[in-house]
Structure 1
Amino acid sequence: MATDKYAPPDQHSCTAPDSSWLSRGHKNQPQWNALGAVSFILISGGMSLAWGAGFAVHSAHREELLMTSHMEVSWYAAATVGAVLGALCTHRLPLQPVYIFGSCLVLVSGILFLACHECPAAIITARYLDGLANGLVFVPAMATVGEISVRGMRGLLASTVEQLSCNTGILMQLLYTAVWQVDWNVTIAADQVHGVLSIVYGVVALALASTLCVESPVNLLLRSDEQQAVAALRHLQRPYMVTSETLIQLDEHKHYVATNREMSWWQSVRMGLPPLLKLLALRSLNALCLTLVVWSALYETAVQVATHYQAWPYVIFGVMRWCGCFCVLLLVDTTGRKKPTLFGCFSCGSFALAFATLFGRTPHMITALALLFSLQFFAGLGQTASAVYLTEAFPLAVKPHYVAVVYVIELFLRLIFCSFAPSPAGIVAYFYVLGGLSIAFFFLSIFCLPETRLTTLSEAQHKFSKWFNKDF
């Protein structure tokens, strides 16, 4: 029988499910522990994204954020630099020192927010540090998360580390924003709360990076250190011993490295172009669902529904986005990645078009607000699988560089639409465009987006390299 060069020997030997989902979660928990530091750094990044997207009306620097570009640009510029550095470090340097350095940057950023909350220069510096930390860890984490996890948990791990963490940070930002919106009699400034939370995230991330970080087995195999690769695999599953399953995973990784080493640099570049374009389109929609325009739409709609614009619209907005992401987490390795992505994008586009139609019509503002909340739910739902696609899609030689390209383009789009306050007509046009792009992506993705659940990295990479994939 002919063999598929993308399928390693005994490729189905380690796909049999354990007795329960909980037992599998317990067995594979060390894989999450290895990336726990990244999760907390990205929670801090989610707060900074929301802070720069308008959800900082409580801040003493709100006017400066809108009137001057430096405070706004700082986080995105530093994250871009961090992504470039992260791409250069991935598969060249060990992961642990990168994660430790990123954790320290978040910690210092939180200290600046807490101690110098009235000083604009200190806030700008803090945003630079937090952005650098997020860009620095995002690329190596997304490039290696699929190498650290077993195939049956890859979707859950990647989506939790990136999407759930970022949406948790957004939710935290909106929750404490809500507290200050209702004018509670407190002595601590809201920006100081941002600092306290960042300090907590930085300390926890530093502790996890220092004690539980495990190197990517693929990274070690690239250095021809098979013994350390076996040791890494041993520490990524309970019990901490070498089993037949460990050796099967080692064979998968060796096959993955060997397959990619057969390709030249230019072959890898060409093979990575189809997934690059697909993921640029998907992640661009993610960026467009949380910008200053979206905040302006929330504000303009909510003030006509709530007499004094109380805190609840912020809370519901953040909770809906977080719940949309959480609902998909447990499905990406069973139902798959493609179905939730298609359903989320189609629903998001439909609600965006409906909101644009109703926005500004006073008798229908409560309906428009409900549509905006629903849009955020389906934005979270539709983007959850994009995290695992990032770690599966690209050839090994160009993976960190293409992940960095996707991340930088996403940052650039967020920055463009966070740099000005739109008019009501601009909000309507924005949501019509968002809805149209989401629907167009839905129809194209039916034929172009692959389904990669329970595949090896080599198989997923091969599927993504094709322009058309009609599998579900």
Structure 2
Amino acid sequence: MSTTTYVTSAPVTVQQTNYLTGQETQTTYITTGRAPPPPPPDVSVNVVIVNPGGRWSKTATKTGTAATFAFVCAGLDMAQGLGWNLNGNVATTLEFQYSWFIGFIIGAVVSALAVSFLPKMIFYGLGSIMNLIDAIIFVSAPYEYESILAARYLGGVGIGLITVPFIIHSAEISGSNSRGTCAALEQYGLSLGIAIQVIYDSQWAGDLGMAVNRVHGIFGIVFSAIALGSVTMAIESPIFYIRQNQEDKARASIRRLLDSWWTVERGNQAYEEAKLYVVEGTSQGVGEQVAESVMPFIKMLFFRCFVAFAMSLPLSYSIESSSYVYEGTAYAWPSIVFGALRLLGSLLTLVILDTVGRKFVSLLGLMCMAGLMLGMAGVYGDYVNILSPYYMRQVSNLGIALQFFAGIYVCSSSAYLGEAFPLRVKPFLIGLIVCVEQVIHIVVIATFTSATSEYFYNYFVIVGIILVVGLVAFAILMPETRGTTLRKAGERFRRVHDVMAY
């Protein structure tokens, strides 16, 4: 055997063994250079994906500011027509009470017909101007019945112009994890306005030297002016621009909504989701979408109309008359707590609607509302109890507690309305539902002729039973849409039943 040895300055990875004519020859390589570096160690890398939904939520909430302050004005006017005109400088006639609701219906019909073609900012601006004129009339002519009546009609038209566009807009500009909060600003604003009207109207003293209608107008001017100024902060929905074939504006809208969280990838994802929603919504005919909307419409018609029972003329008269019996005056502390708890319930729901979910929260509020109304009906069932300070204290406590749970219930309705219907028919069905809600208010006002124990009993037992039936139906039929896209939420609404509560 012969051996050949080579000395190299670089590593050699190949070793050869040759066999020549039966004689074994071995070749060996000796490396004198630097050894190769060791392989890199295994490193675990944790990738943290930051969800931009929180930032989207803040931007969408800022966009809804204009409408939110307008809804505060609406709460002031609505509460005034539902029994909280105790120190009124003009007569509280039947027309005075239902005038705002008729104006609302007119405005809602107009906005439902035009919202698909005009930017939302037009409705926000025009509605805020009408509310501002309404408030100015209250300040300048607080003792003139005809002027105040015209102002209430005008304010109703203004808020009707805002409501349908806002429900659609809030659903389109918010992310899947913030849509409930953004949409609930409608009912939160109404609750804030109701609380302000109830508290100052029940505590205002006539010797303070200022007409209570003028105070109403001052509040209206402040909130309307803020709403009008906030219109400049509003961002149009990218879905609206996509429907108008304006891709550049749609992408710019998405970039503004995402704000500092915007990246090319996130912007493209949001644009593609919005475009897919538009494509699916416009690829179907109106007749096909109407057929698909039958089940969602039935669900939302009853769900939203129950909101009318959360704040009504009999509830207001009940708290006023019961306070008078056991406190000796209607201008007592129960009215303050009545308004404050309504606001507190709405504020609490605003915070948890996208974490706990719409269905569980609304069912909890509805269950307690039904139980409390039936409890009030039980007290009024014995007609002599209306003269008892003890029993009227119990009625007052039940009515106060009911407002807290009413505030919890009502916020889910706004989110559900924005999610339930296909794109083409959405404004018309939302407009129809909110108009029916106002009709219920008008019917209750027209039929409530006297604050007697018999009427209270009939009203609370009938409404309480309706709410119990609705509770069972909603538990079976209503979907949970927390954390879903608009497309997915619409699919869930089209199911006949959906028992998932969380």
TM-score of the pair, normalised by structure 2? 0.86
Find 1:342's aligned residue among 363, 376, 398: 363
Whether 1:399 and 2:426 are equivalent positions in the alignment is yes
Q: Contact (CA 8 Å) 2:56, 2:174: kept in 1 or not?
A: no
Q: Spell out the pairing of 1:36-435 with structure 2 (5 A cutoff).
A: 36-61=65-90, 64-66=91-93, 69-160=94-185, 162-180=186-204, 183=205, 185-209=207-231, 211-239=232-260, 241-359=262-380, 361=385, 362=388, 363-419=390-446, 420-422=448-450, 423-435=452-464
Q: Contact (CA 8 Å) 1:106, 1:201: kept in 2 or not?
A: no
How many correspondences in the alignment? 446
Cα distance, 1:243 vs. partner? 3.6
Residues 37-95 of structure 1: CA distance to partner in whole angstroms, max 9, x if unpaired? 1111111111111000011111112xx323xx432332112111100111112121111
Cα distance, 1:179 vs. partner? 2.6
One-letter code aligned to 1:399? K
Q: Contact (CA 8 Å) 2:377, 2:461: kept in 1 or not?
A: yes
Percent identity of paired positions between Structure 1 and Structure 2: 28
Larger radius of gyration: 2
What's the RMSD between the two structures over aligned residues? 1.7
Residues 351-409 of structure 1: CA distance to partner in whole angstroms, max 9, x if unpaired? 10011111352232222211111111111112211110010001110111111011100
Distance in structure 2 (CA, Å) of the matches to 1:45 and 1:278: 25
Distance in structure 1 (CA, Å) of the matches to 2:143 and 2:261: 49
One-letter code aligned to 1:357? G
Find 2:470's aligned residue among 418, 441, 450: 441
Look up the SS of the partner of 1:437 in the other structure: helix
Cα distance, 1:16 vs. partner? 6.4
Residues 257-284 of structure 1: CA distance to partner in whole angstroms, max 9, x if unpaired? 1111221101111111211111111122
Distance 1:226 1:116, change over 3 A: same
Distance in structure 2 (CA, Å) of the matches to 1:307 and 1:93: 54
Cα distance, 1:240 vs. partner? 7.4
Distance 1:90 1:336, change over 3 A: same
Q: Contact (CA 8 Å) 2:345, 2:407: kept in 1 or not?
A: yes
Look up the SS of the partner of 1:435 in the other structure: helix
In structure 1, runs of 5+ residues without a counterpart are: 1-13, 19-23
Q: Contact (CA 8 Å) 2:120, 2:169: kept in 1 or not?
A: no
Q: Contact (CA 8 Å) 1:230, 1:242: kept in 2 or not?
A: no
Look up the SS of the partner of 1:384 in the other structure: helix
One-letter code aligned to 1:65? T
Distance 1:197 1:364, change over 3 A: same
One-letter code aligned to 2:344? C
Cα distance, 1:96 vs. partner? 1.4
Q: Contact (CA 8 Å) 2:367, 2:471: kept in 1 or not?
A: yes
Cα distance, 1:242 vs. partner? 4.5
Q: Contact (CA 8 Å) 2:178, 2:354: kept in 1 or not?
A: yes
Cα distance, 1:288 vs. partner? 1.7
Residues 447-466 of structure 1: CA distance to partner in whole angstroms, max 9, x if unpaired? 10000001000000111112
Distance in structure 1 (CA, Å) of the matches to 2:310 and 2:130: 27
Cα distance, 1:198 vs. partner? 0.8
In structure 2, runs of 5+ residues without a counterpart are: 1-47
Distance in structure 1 (CA, Å) of the matches to 2:342 and 2:151: 26
Aligned residue number for residue 470 of structure 1: 499
Distance in structure 1 (CA, Å) of the matches to 2:433 and 2:63: 24
Distance in structure 1 (CA, Å) of the matches to 2:262 and 2:487: 26
Distance in structure 2 (CA, Å) of the matches to 1:260 and 1:26: 27
Cα distance, 1:169 vs. partner? 0.6
One-letter code aligned to 1:237? L
Q: Contact (CA 8 Å) 2:199, 2:335: kept in 1 or not?
A: yes
Residues 161-190 of structure 1: CA distance to partner in whole angstroms, max 9, x if unpaired? x1101101100101211331xx26411111
Distance in structure 2 (CA, Å) of the matches to 1:172 and 1:355: 25
Look up the SS of the partner of 2:255 in the other structure: helix
Residues 206-251 of structure 1: CA distance to partner in whole angstroms, max 9, x if unpaired? 1111x21211111111011111001011111321754422221111
Q: Contact (CA 8 Å) 1:159, 1:388: kept in 2 or not?
A: yes
Which has the larger displacement, 116-125 or 73-82? 73-82
Which has the larger displacement, 271-280 or 70-79? 70-79
Aligned residue number for residue 27 of structure 2: none
Distance in structure 2 (CA, Å) of the matches to 1:106 and 1:25: 32
One-letter code aligned to 2:195? L
TM-score of the pair, normalised by structure 1? 0.91
